[in-house]
Chain A
C-alpha cells in the first residue's frame, strides 16, 4: 500500500527527473538560498516558497487583489500592486510587514522598476494613465496619458525608455523618461499584455493575448521586426493566448506563457523559432527566472499552482500548490 501511494504521488514526473531537479536546486541554493514570492489575486495573500525544499513556508495577508510584484534593487523589499486598494504596497521581506504605501493612481496592475531602482512606473488600468513614482520620496513624479487599459510595463536597461502596452488600444507607448512624455507609439497584435526589453536594450518583446502572437520590436526604430506565432497540436488556435514573457540574460531563450493553452513556449531568441512547448498548470500567465537563470517559475491561475521549469533541460520538474489565482511571481536570489 505504501509503495502504491508513493507512486501515485509522483505521477507525471519521472524519478530520474526529480533527482536531477533536486540536484539542480541544491547546486543553485549552494550559492544563496532562493525564495519565491507569488501574489494570489483572489486570496489577497502572498505565498512564500523556499527554493530549496520547494515548499510553501508562509502565506501572508496583503492588500486587496494583489497582482504585479517586483523586488527592490537591493532585494530587501517587494513592491506589490494592490489593485483594489489603489495603492502599491512596499513589503519588507525581513520583517514580513507592509512598511508603507506608494501613491500609485487608480487600479494599479503592473509596474516596472527603473535600472537605478528610483522610479517605479505603474499602469493605471482603469484611468488610461501611467504614473511614475519617485521611490525614495514616495511622491508622484509625473503622469502621462496612454491608450485604453494600460497593462504591460518595462524600462529600458539604459533608463531612457519607459514602455507601456495598452490592451484595448493594442499599442506600445514609448515614454521618454527625461522628457516625461509619450513620444512614439507602435501598433501590435490585439490585447498586448506584457513587455520586456532584451538585456542589451536593442529589442522589446511584447505579447498579444488575443492576437496569439509575440511582437519583437527594434528599439532604435520602434518598428516591429518579427512576429512570433504559436501552434500546439491538439490545442485550438484561439486558446493560445500569450501573456508573460521572460528573456534569458544570455540572449538564448525567450519563454512565453500561453494562458489557457496551459503551455510555456520556448523560443530561440536569436532565430525567433519556437523550439518547444512545455506543459504546465492551467491558465499560465506570469513568469520569473532565478537570478542565476537556472530555474523558471510560472503562475497558473486556474489550477492555483506554480510550475518549476529547469532551464538547462527544458523540463517541468515540480508543481507547487499556492493560493487562489496566483498572478505575479518574483524570485529573490
Chain B
C-alpha cells in the first residue's frame, strides 16, 4: 500500500489524534489474554510457458493470480481483527519444469494445512496423491479439468475454478436462450482444446443444440500473416448460427472474428467467453472489489486473480463463520452444507459434496462488455439453478467422496 490511507482527511485530523483513534478502535485492545488464532495458507503456483507461436498482445502481469490471493489475505485480516484471527500467505513459485511435490512438502512442513494450488491439472492431481497432502486441504484455484472432479477426485481436494463443463454449459445455456442452436465447433491442436471441445459437445447435448459442423485447426503457418486468406476458406461449411472455438492458449481463436465466410459470431475460448471475472463486471458489489483490487495491484483484476482471491476467501469466510482457527474444524466446515460465501456474482457459492466443486455463477463477457451471467433464467434445477452448470450428482464419476446430499 503506497497510497496513504486517508488522503483527503489528514488536514482536518491531526496525526497524533488519528493514531490514538485507530489504537482505540483496535478490537480486543486491553484483552491481551485472548490468543490470536493464526491461519497459514500456502500458495503454490506454477505457470506453464506459453508456446512460442502465440502472439499475446496482453502480456500477463508477473503477479497474475498472486495479487488476488494477496488482496484476499488483507480482506481476511480486516475481518480477522474483530475475531482475533490472523491470516498469513506462504507463497512459493514452482518453475514450469520444477519440483511441485518438493514445494508442497516444504509448505506442509511449515504447518500450512490449506494450500492454494494455482497450477496445471496434472500438477494438481499429482499433489493430491502425495502422502504429505493427506491431511491438508488443497484448493485447486485454476485447473478446469473435469477429470480432476471425476475419476481423479480426492477427499482432500476442492475446486474453486469452474470446470470446463461448467464453462461450456454457461455458454450453451445462453446460446440456446438466444435461439442460436446450430454450432460450428473449431478445435485447436492441444490436448486441452480437445477437452474443451468435449465439454462443448456435452453442453450441446444437454441443452438441445446441435454441432452441425466440426473442424480441427491444424495450420502450422503463422496465423497472424495468413488469417485473412486462410480463415474464409477454413470456415466454409454447412449453415450454422455460432462458431464455437476451443483454443485455450489463444493460438488462433482471436483471428476468427470478422474473417469467417459467413457473418457469424464467435464464442468459446475467444469472442464471447465464459469466465469467472471480467474487468467490466460491476453488479452485486463487484465494482467495489474491482476498485479495491486496482488500488492494491495497480491493474484490473483478471480471472486468475479472482480465482485465487476466492480460494483464500473460502478459508477466511469459513474461519469467520465457524469462529475457529482450528484447521480440522475448518476443513470439515468448508465441505459442509452450512458453508456459503458471497463472491460478487449474485448467488452465494457453496461446495458440491459429490465432487468438491464450488458452485458458482459464470459470466459471459466480450472484450469490453459483460454480455450475460449464467445460469440463464428458465434452466431449472430442484436444488439450485447453479447445479444446472457442470456435472450434477447423478452424473458424477467421483467415487472417493461421500454421497451425502447437500
Contacts and interface: CB of A to CB of B under 8 A. Distances in A.
A23 to B, nearest CB: 39
Interface string B308-352: 000000000100110100000000000000001110001110000
Given A126-B292, A142-B13, A173 B82 contact: yes
Contacts of A143: 6, 9, 13, 18, 21
Contact of B82 (A131, A147, A236, A237): A147
B25 A140 contact: no
Given A148-B79, A190-B340, A139 B21 contact: no
B318 to A, nearest CB: 12
B9 A167 contact: no
B291 A147 contact: no
A147 B79 contact: yes
Contact of A105 (B6, B21, B320, B341): B6
The 8 closest A-B pairs by CB, nearest first: A238-B347, A210-B342, A169-B79, A181-B24, A144-B25, A185-B82, A140-B12, A190-B342
Interface of B: 5-9, 12-13, 17-18, 21-22, 24-27, 75, 78-79, 81-83, 285, 288, 291-292, 295, 317, 320-321, 323, 340-342, 346-348, 384-386
Interface in A227-270: 236-239, 241, 260
Interface centre among A107, A127, A131, A168 (most CB of B within 10 A): A168
A145 B22 contact: yes
A21 B27 CA distance: 51
A237 B6 contact: no
Given A169-B82, A210-B340, A127 B320 contact: no
A141 B82 CA distance: 23
17 contacts: A128-B78, A131-B9, A140-B13, A143-B18, A144-B22, A149-B285, A167-B288, A169-B82, A170-B320, A171-B82, A180-B21, A181-B21, A182-B82, A187-B323, A237-B384, A238-B386, A241-B346
A5 interface: no
Nearest to B386: A238
A106 interface: yes
Interface string A77-90: 00000000010000
A191 interface: yes
A266 B46 CA distance: 53
Contacts of B384: 236-238
Contacts of B288: 125-126, 149, 167
Contacts of A190: 317, 340-342, 348
Contacts of B75: 148, 168
Contacts of B12: 103, 139-140
A140 B348 contact: no
A129 interface: yes
Nearest to B81: A145
Contacts of B18: 143
A180 B13 CA distance: 14
A166 B80 CA distance: 13
Contacts of A86: 8
Contacts of B24: 179-181
A185 B342 contact: no
Contacts of B285: 149, 167, 191
A260 B25 CA distance: 36
A291 B113 CA distance: 56
Given A128-B78, A144-B21, A105 B8 contact: yes
Contact of A147 (B7, B78, B321): B78
Contacts of A237: 384
Given A142-B21, A143-B9, A147-B79, 18 more contacts: A103-B8, A105-B8, A106-B6, A126-B291, A129-B5, A140-B12, A145-B25, A167-B288, A168-B75, A169-B79, A181-B21, A185-B82, A187-B321, A209-B342, A210-B341, A237-B384, A238-B347, A238-B385
A12 to B, nearest CB: 21
Contact of B295 (A126, A169, A260): A126
B336 to A, nearest CB: 15
B82 A105 contact: no
Contacts of A187: 320-321, 323
A138 B5 CA distance: 20
B340 to A, nearest CB: 7
A181 B295 contact: no
Contact of A185 (B27, B291, B292): B27
A129 B22 CA distance: 10
Contacts of A144: 21-22, 25
A236 B348 CA distance: 12
B81 to A, nearest CB: 8
B343 to A, nearest CB: 9
Contacts of B323: 187
B210 to A, nearest CB: 29
A182 B295 contact: no
Contacts of B317: 190
B351 to A, nearest CB: 15
A182 B25 CA distance: 5
A170 B313 CA distance: 13
A126 B294 CA distance: 11
Nearest to A109: B288
A238 B21 contact: no
Contacts of A167: 285, 288, 342
B13 A182 contact: no
Contacts of B340: 190, 210-211
Interface in A91-110: 103, 105-107
A294 to B, nearest CB: 33
Contacts of A182: 25, 27, 82
Contacts of B295: 126
A282 to B, nearest CB: 13
Interface centre among B7, B75, B342 (most CB of A within 10 A): B342
Nearest to A185: B82
Interface centre among B5, B18, B348, B385 (most CB of A within 10 A): B348
A169 B320 contact: yes
A106 B317 CA distance: 26
Contacts of B21: 142-144, 180-181
Interface string A145-169: 1011100000000000000001111
Interface string A187-210: 100110000000000000000011
Contacts of A179: 24
Given A147-B79, A190-B348, A168 B342 contact: yes
Given A149-B285, A182-B25, A171 B348 contact: no
